[in-house]
Structure 1
Amino acid sequence: MARFTTSTLSKYLLQAQVAAQALHTETAPVPPEVHVPLRKQLKDEAKKQKAAGKKKKKNANNQVVDGWELTVGIEIHAQLNTAKKLFSAATTSFNDDPNTRVAFFDLAIPGSQPIFQKETLIPALRAALALNCQVQTVSRFDRKHYFHWDQPSGYQITQYYEPFARDGSITLQARDGIAAEDGDGVMIGIKQVQVEQDTAKTLAQPGGVHWLDFNRVGAPLIEIITLPEIHHPATAAALVRKVQILLSAVDSCVSGMEAGGLRADVNVSVRRGDDPSAPLGQRTEIKNLSSFKAVEDAIIAERDRQIAVLETGGVIEGETRGWSIGSTETRRLRGKEGEVDYRYMPDPDLAPLVIGDDLVSHLRESMGQLPDVEVDVLIKEFELTPKDALSLTALDGGMRVEYFWNVADALAARLGLDRIENLACFQLAANWILHELGRLTSERSEAASEELGFTEDGQCERLPVEQLADILFYLHTRKITAKIAKELLWVVFRGTIPEKYPSVLGAIEEENLWFDELSETEYAELADEAVEGQEDVVRQFVDYKQYPQGKLMFLVGRMIRLGPEERIDPKNAERVMRAALPEKYVPALKASD
């Protein structure tokens, strides 16, 4: 076998970069790839569509087309959460300098051999178990041959014939966002899950030049292949979303679609609905969809295109098509004359992969609760909405819901009550952890680029559990106002309280932030002041057909503006005004008329 040194590897890397820049004569270094947030991409595309006078069709009521049946199968590629690549000891790379995480085998240097990195199997197995798959005792690796600049060896190592997991399923419920036509739930079969290599990253440059970053070559992926059992676009998007949530929950996937760690290819076909026994129509494949919205939109567009072709007497060609964010149509990438011949063959350099039952049992027992179970508990015990429960379990890789449990325990200790005995307090905690904490680092916040710092054990570096529990406790027991509570939240987030005061309580005491609410008499006097000169508004409450809620809130708003805001509870102000209108102000108005 040939012997190689570090200088030899550097030489090959240099040659690879030069080859990728065949038409490029400059010597400028590879610029870092700028990540454009998905939200900005969508906004920019919407502006282009508006400028061009085009409007996108809304997805509402667009799940079915009368007389036609849609069938979709999905292939999901997810990068595994591992420190090493699949067949080399090179470390996996995230935003490292290009071509700095590369081993000899990654570049297919002659004489180098694949060495299966056993630790990459653990997250793959966790993913298979989360998808209810049957783990195969023996699986094997195959070579999938094709030639492209992003694949140095001319083949990809995958598991085509004998994957490590088969025959799984994923259950989607209405709360997951499936189409209404699928009712309360639907089960989609998983044909197989296989491990395989990723390819190099291609960086397109002006003038038809492409630069290559080989850091990603050999990164471990799993490919999840569903059965063609999906019949509505929204359900397809819900499945991809659910898979991402599951993979995150079991610490299997590096990142989600928004960060490029998960990609989806969809196979779409249509047939007339009057003959369910007829064979499925010719399918087309839409490659590399990078958001849940793109999955739904692309399927709708391709379905409508195929139906239009068939209704005009045309024939659907087997082909690969592409999709761009904000588009209204798929575009042809390349044709397929029959099945592509990848010349699959067993990899002669890799032994069969043997997985022991004891390892599978250990992972199954130690995997913990899956998101559906935890969502059910949140809905049942705390009466959270399905949307809020799902958000809590999905955010921050499951760390935010762990933070919620810790805050709930701390609140229960302060209240001296079991959690379920005081739902309002814990619903308040869930609301704040979802929304108020999110506002601290939202795009409109001055701290937009900062992180909250959640940890796997449910702690938060910027907002310690005990301090948030204190704020929520004093707010729930009406010792402070919502305005003061939000100001305290910012102070804790900024780190001021640990420097100046021993605790949240210390800050409230020192600054006298306690809520000294108005008495009933003071509320009544304030209501009189707010109604003064507002006869036209009060007249709206005389013999009304529909209660003028807007006018009521106008008068309540005047109470808050005229009085000491720090001593007013808006709900109590509304209660006093609502009672006084029919008992006092309306009769007085009638008497004066």
Structure 2
Amino acid sequence: MLRPWRVSGAFRFYSYRPLIRSAQFFDSSRALQTSVPTDRVPLRKQLKQDAKGLKAQKKLRKEAEEASRQKWELTVGVEIHAQLDTETKLFSRQSIPIADEGGFGSPPGTGAATSTSDIPNSNVSLFDLAFPGSQPEFQAATLLPALRAAIALKCQIQPVSRFDRKHYFYQDQPAGYQITQYYEPFARHGYVDLFDYDGIAPEDGDRVRVDIKQVQLEQDTAKSQEYPPSTQLLDFNRVSHPLIEIITMPQIHTPATAAACVRKLQAILQSCGAVTTGMELGGLRADVNVSIRRRGETAELCQYNGVSGLGQRTEIKNLSSFKAVEDAIIAEKNRQIAVLESGGVVEGETRGWTIGSTETRKLRGKEGAVDYRYMPDPDIPPLRIGEDLISQLSGDLPASPDSLVALLVGPEYGLPIDDAKPLIELDDGARLEYYQDVVDILREIQVDSNAQIHATLARMAGNWVLHELGGLLTKTDRAWDADIVPAQSLAHLVDQLQQKRITGSTAKLVLASVFDGDRRPIPQLLEEDGLLLRPLSREEYVALAEAAIALNPQMVEQIRQKNQRGKLGWFVGQMMRTGEKGRVEAPKAEEILRELILEK
């Protein structure tokens, strides 16, 4: 069975004064007559007008966006920088401290590497500080998570790769250069497939393939903290933390699909145990390259990553969330269109983005490869990767997100895509593993049942794991923990419900009891608390229904005359409240109500 690694419009405020149609106020000298202004609008009407106005604005924006899309073509390339899950730095023996057992991105039984919470400058080697005479020592263990990532991204692993020095002078780079792989990276020519369930733009269809130009190893920089007006503190713990940089081809043409691409890349890196954390904790950062051209235009266009005929690109650096990726691209697209439509020229430059902003801002003029003065690093020998290592890692690679989706929506589980996706994404894979445990136990309990019942049990288990148990976690603001409700308990609860030994409302009460700490076996709990279903007779259902109908004749007429059948559910609720606890089954109650109200 495929299993993942358990890796760790604006509100308007109104003031209310007494509404006076007309009144006269007198003082000792003269009479003053006042009346309410004729333009005052009742609150409910005003709210409806505001809602209509907001809807109209959205429609206009959508039409403007569509008109813009027909006239201008957006092209986006993505660069992902992800921290690798290793215990040592890339070029020194300095260890990266372990956070807690079973951390994010780790295979079972290992910890999660991170230095974000350590005392500043407490995990630094001489080489990290560029101390004169210190030499880089490539740590082979750092290559393993990088290879897992490249294999998961369908890349071709290069048998020989080399490191280069990328020169630039900034306080977070003590040597004056960053060691990376520019000319000969360790992996090339991969791809990532994006599907409609990944959140791509509707206009992009059901599937988009984005090619990956290369994946390269490189060292991270120091962490800087500004204290205006003139102080900047540096923490060198992060220097030489191993990164991979994933460079896609410029093949994305909508902001939503660009955000979906970053989200999918993160999911793949997490699923194969390659990274420490995702965007939400700073372990993954995205840069986007944005260009605009008029559709059909061919003259005076630029080239990027070997693709010619593109508009002048700008780079937006260090985006830290999926929403920021989408919003920054939209803002930059609009800015470039405005520049071009006013007769201006888009400059090649690096720009920044602040969450909540509506515009990108210039950081510096774009530096090219010549400015960086890339050159081979003379102190690091070539990196040679054997085919046997690639074969072994490929065989040990866990299931990919797409294969898990296919498994969950397939005949073995039969889940809707809206349930399959959250199960894969929630709690770093732990929720999915718990769900599969519940299903396995259910199938052991009902081992003699047919495939159709097994599929029904799998769908029921998905609903209870995601919605019922998930609702209790949300309500109590508790983090996921498989021991809160043992898989054995939930499986037996779903089994009792599926076999109609308890009602749905009883099952929810029992789940809440187990959630609060009741550890009695489910059959024992149901027996001792008298919760097993004792079905009502037809006569008892009719009596409960007639009593509820007699107390609410007006609502009965609304159902009959205005066909407001949704109100039948209210009557079902009344029957369940007045009937004996745990004995009223909602489907049977509704069936009797339909007979008495609609058919009689």
TM-score by length of 1: 0.82
2:196 is aligned, of 174, 178, 186, to 174
Shift of the 140–480 alpha-carbon distance from structure 1 to 2, 3 Å rule, reads same
Amino acid at match of 1:504: I
Cα distance in structure 1, aligned partners of 2:281 and 2:188: 28
Matched, 1:100 2:91: no
Match of 2:426 in 1: 395
Report whether the alignment pairs 1:84 with 2:91: no
Q: Which residue of 2 aligns with 1:75?
A: 79
CA deviation after TM superposition for structure 1 residue 563, in Å? 2.8
**Displacement of 1:160 after TM fit?**
0.7
Amino acid at match of 1:77: H
Partner of 2:502: 480
Alignment of 1:328-367 (within 5 A): 328-336=358-366, 341-367=371-397
Check 1:484–1:216 CA distance in 2 against 1; reply closer, same or farther (3 A cut): farther
Measured in 1, the distance between the counterparts of 2:367 and 2:247 equals 22
Runs of 5+ unmatched residues, structure 1: 1-45, 453-459, 585-593
Pairing partner for 1:557 from 566, 569, 573? 573
Which residue of the partner structure matches residue 407 of structure 1? 438
Preserved contact between residue 70 and residue 232 of structure 1 (Cα < 8 Å): yes
The alpha-carbon deviation at position 324 of structure 1 amounts to 1.6
Structure 2 partner of 1:10: none
The alignment partner of 2:372 has SS state of coil
Residues of 1 paired with 2:539 and 2:214: CA distance?
71
8 Å Cα contact 1:409/1:419 also seen in 2: no
SS in 2 for 1:104: coil
- The answer to whether the 8 Å contact 2:485/2:515 transfers is yes
Q: Which one of 468, 484, 506 corresponds to residue 462 of structure 1? A: 484
Specify the SS of the correspondent of 2:75.
Answer: strand
> For residues 510 and 542 of structure 1, do their structure 2 counterparts lie closer, same or farther at Cα, with a shift above 3 Å needed?
closer
Change (3 A) 1:418 1:221: farther
Matched residue, 1:583: 599
Give, as a single letter, the amino acid of the residue that structure 1 aligns with 2:79.
E
Cα distance, 1:273 vs structure 2: 0.8
Counterpart among 357, 372, 379 of residue 327 in structure 1: 357
1:67 aligned partner, one-letter code: K
Task: Give, in whole Å, the separation in 1 of the partners of 2:282 and 2:12.
Answer: 25
Q: Distance in 2 between matches of 1:115 and 1:146?
A: 22
Q: What is the number of residues matched between the two proteins? A: 520
Instruction: State the one-letter code of the partner of 2:440.
Output: D
Q: 1:369 to 1:540 in 2, by over 3 A?
A: same
* Matched residue SS, 2:534: coil
Q: How far apart are the structure 2 equivalents of 1:432 and 1:270?
A: 47
Q: Once the 2 structures are TM-superposed, how far is the Cα of residue 388 of structure 1 from its aligned partner?
A: 1.8
1:534-549 aligned within 5 A: 534-542=552-560, 544=562, 547-549=563-565
What is aligned with 1:202?
224
Distance 1:173 1:96 in 2: 39
Q: Is the 8 A contact 1:139 1:353 kept in 2?
A: yes
Find the aligned partners of 1:296 and 1:96 in 2 and give their Cα distance. 32
- Cα offsets for 1:169-210 (capped at 9, x unmatched): 111111111111111211111000001111112223354432
Structure 1: which amino acid aligns with 2:582?
E
C-alpha deviations, 1:413-450, integer Å up to 9, x for none?
112235554322211111222233333433x42x43x4
Range with greater deviation from structure 2 (478-487 or 132-141): 478-487
Residue identity matched to 2:567: K
Change (3 A) 1:462 1:540: closer
Secondary structure, aligned partner of 1:462: coil
Residue from 524, 527, 537 that aligns with 1:509: 527
Residue 161 of structure 1 pairs with residue 165 of structure 2: no
1:66 is paired with a residue whose SS is: helix
CA distance in 2 between partners of 1:110 and 1:491 (Å)? 65
Is the CA contact 2:532–2:582 (under 8 Å) kept in the aligned structure 1? no
In the TM superposition, 1:56-67 aligns within 5 A as 62=65, 65-67=69-71
Distance 2:123 2:451 in 1: 49
Deviations 1:463-518 (A, max 9, x none): 33212211221222232333443343344444441xxx3x2333223322323343
8 A contact 1:67–1:274 mirrored in 2: no
- Identity of matched residues, %: 53
Q: CA deviation at 1:369?
A: 2.4
CA contact (8 A) 1:197 1:221 kept: yes
Alignment of 1:110-509 (within 5 A): 110-275=132-297, 279-336=309-366, 341-381=371-411, 382-416=413-447, 417=449, 420-442=452-474, 444-445=475-476, 447-448=477-478, 450-452=479-481, 460-497=482-519, 501=520, 503-509=521-527
Give the match's secondary structure for 2:287. strand
Deviation at 1:565, TM superposition (A): 4.4
Q: Secondary structure at the match of 1:74?
A: strand
Cα distance change of structure 1 residues 207 and 451 upon mapping to structure 2, 3 Å threshold:
farther
Q: Which moved more, 1:211-220 or 1:388-397?
A: 388-397
CA change 1:327–1:135 in 2 (3 A) is same
Q: CA deviation at 1:329?
A: 1.6
Do the aligned partners of residues 396 and 337 (structure 1) sit closer, same or farther apart at CA in structure 2, a change above 3 Å counting? closer
- Give the AA of the match of 1:522: E
Aligned partners of 2:595, 2:442: CA distance in 1, in Å? 34
Distance 2:234 2:592 in 1: 70
Give the AA of the match of 1:86.
Answer: L
Amino acid at match of 1:404: Y
Sort the Cα spacing of 1:513 and 1:543 in 2 relative to 1 into closer, same or farther, 3 A. Answer: closer
CA shift at 1:338, angstroms? 5.6
Question: In the aligned structure 2, how far is the partner of 1:202 from the partner of 1:551?
Answer: 61
Distance 1:239 1:570, change over 3 A: same
1:318 and 1:338 in contact (8 A); partners too: no
Structure 2: unaligned runs, 5 residues or longer: 1-8, 14-53, 97-114, 302-308
Give the partner amino acid of 2:408: L
Q: Distance in 2 between matches of 1:153 and 1:494?
A: 56
Please give the root-mean-square deviation of Cα atoms over the aligned residues, in Å. 2.6
